Structure 1
Amino acid sequence: MVSSDMAIVGEAKTRRSKGAERRQELIEVTIDCLARHGYEGTTIGVVAEAVGMSRGIVNFHFETKEQLLLATLRFLSDEYRAHWKGALATAGSQPARRLWALAMADFDRAICTPRKLAAWCAFWGEAKTRPTYRQMCGANDAEYQATAVELCAALAPDGVEPSQLARGIVCMLEGLWLHLMMSPGSLSREEARAVAAAQLALLLPGHFSAKGPL
């Protein structure tokens, strides 16, 4: 009896694991579809065809396009947050190293790819009229901004308001991402990273060179 119960539990765990893997596969394909077809062109049918599944199987995991897109945005948002927090965790306690890690994390190959940038662009384009999207993106933005302000408070020279300095740095980083999204091919990820590094050196020359923290 015990072994039978354990077998049932094991089978249930296996099904959940396979279900999670299938959902993640669908999310990854949805990112590809958003990059190729845009928001309106990404439908359950388009995703099903791209992944090689029937619409019925896709609908088993995500009943509607909205559920699938929300899960995709949540994945991108969680991935982005975990990435910059991970960069901070490995940067140590020195504020300049932490701010450098925070800024440079935006241009890491793990998150700064054409397909993911295109997917972000699709969601940002819809956020104005979709409160759920705006809330998910805004929560991440607020946490990121608060972290930047905290670090700038430790680095800003006398007479410079840390919140304004942080806002300028964040807007610079967002502008580079926007350029990468809207003009693919005109600016590489490496070039964008170099621009961000140069701007940090100009804004806080006592703490950074274009090569990193002093």
Structure 2
Amino acid sequence: MPKIGMEPLRRQQLIQATIDVVAEVGLQGATINLISGKAGLSSGIISHYFGGKQGLIEASVRHLLDQLKDSLLSQVSHGNVSPTDRLMAIIDSNFSPFQRSDSATKTWLCFWAQAMHDNELRRLQNVNSRRLVSNLRFSLKALMEREKAEQIAQYSAALIDGFWLRSVLSESTAQKFDQASRFCKQYILDMIEQHGAANHV
């Protein structure tokens, strides 16, 4: 009989092991045996908790998405956050230490590549993209016209994704991530200065 309360712990162990193994050997090389061995658990428990490797892969993507969401919430949940500060927090969450870690970056890249061939991973990636644009748009709408906020939200999301990818592929990753974050923030600040309602009254 499994101990009561062990399932959440074991599920998290397997998810973390999946992220680590995918980072080491890629998605195709991440076998059930490698993942369970990394977690120090039996391979059969993957089927028990996740229904198989595919279910575990999808749960791992959701974990990465949750980490991104939680990073933002931790910065803005205390209230009295201005729209501009919230926009800066969105960028910080996308370039957080976790999102720039070796295991997370390699795993994200593997998931993105596989999403072209996997409907559920594609759906999860679309959720991620829509959430980023929605978060940006929400704060920008408080600062400028709706149509302009929509446009800048789309551009900003593309910049964030593009600079994140370039940083991952850079040989000087830490420096590139810091630079990318600054560039994205400066773009948004420039757009607020140029199109903000306060400048057109």
Q: Calculate the TM-score normalised by the size of structure 2.
A: 0.82
Deviation of 1:94 after TM superposition, in Å, equals 1.8
Structure-2 residue corresponding to 1:135? 123
CA distance in 2 between partners of 1:91 and 1:125 (Å): 38
CA distance in 1 between partners of 2:102 and 2:185 (Å): 21
Count of residue pairs brought into register by the alignment: 195
Which letter does structure 2 place at the counterpart of 1:136? L
Work out whether 1:177 is the aligned partner of 2:157.
Answer: no
Deviation of 1:161 after TM superposition, in Å, equals 1.6
CA contact (8 A) 2:46 2:53 kept: no
Deviation of 1:202 after TM superposition, in Å, equals 3.4
Percent identity, aligned pairs only, is 23
Secondary structure (helix, strand or coil) at the match of 1:86 reads helix
CA contact (8 A) 2:46 2:52 kept: no
CA distance in 1 between partners of 2:186 and 2:69 (Å): 24
Structure-2 residue corresponding to 1:83? 71
Work out whether 1:161 is the aligned partner of 2:148.
Answer: yes
Deviation of 1:112 after TM superposition, in Å, equals 3.0
Deviations for 1:106-137, whole angstroms, at most 9, x for unmatched residues?
12224332211211111111112211112222
Structure-2 residue corresponding to 1:112? 100
Work out whether 1:102 is the aligned partner of 2:90.
Answer: yes
Which letter does structure 1 place at the counterpart of 2:134? A
CA contact (8 A) 1:77 1:137 kept: no
Deviations for 1:156-179, whole angstroms, at most 9, x for unmatched residues?
4x7972211111111111112111
CA distance in 2 between partners of 1:128 and 1:195 (Å): 29
Structure-1 residue corresponding to 2:199? none
Point out the structure with max Rg over C-alpha: 1
Structure-1 residue corresponding to 2:13? 25
CA contact (8 A) 1:123 1:133 kept: yes
Q: How does 1:8-19 map to 2 (within 5 A)?
A: 15-19=3-7
CA distance in 1 between partners of 2:46 and 2:135 (Å): 38
CA distance in 2 between partners of 1:99 and 1:91 (Å): 14
Q: Cα–Cα, structure 1 residues 198 and 161, in superposed 2: closer, same or farther, change >3 Å?
A: closer
CA contact (8 A) 1:114 1:184 kept: no
Gaps of 5+ in 1: 1-11, 208-214
Structure-2 residue corresponding to 1:194? 182
CA distance in 2 between partners of 1:184 and 1:115 (Å): 16
Q: Calculate the TM-score normalised by the size of structure 1.
A: 0.78
Deviation of 1:25 after TM superposition, in Å, equals 0.7
CA distance in 2 between partners of 1:91 and 1:144 (Å): 20
Which letter does structure 2 place at the counterpart of 1:21? L
Deviation of 1:67 after TM superposition, in Å, equals 1.4
Aligned-CA RMSD value: 2.8
CA contact (8 A) 1:99 1:148 kept: yes
CA distance in 1 between partners of 2:55 and 2:171 (Å): 29
Structure-2 residue corresponding to 1:7? none
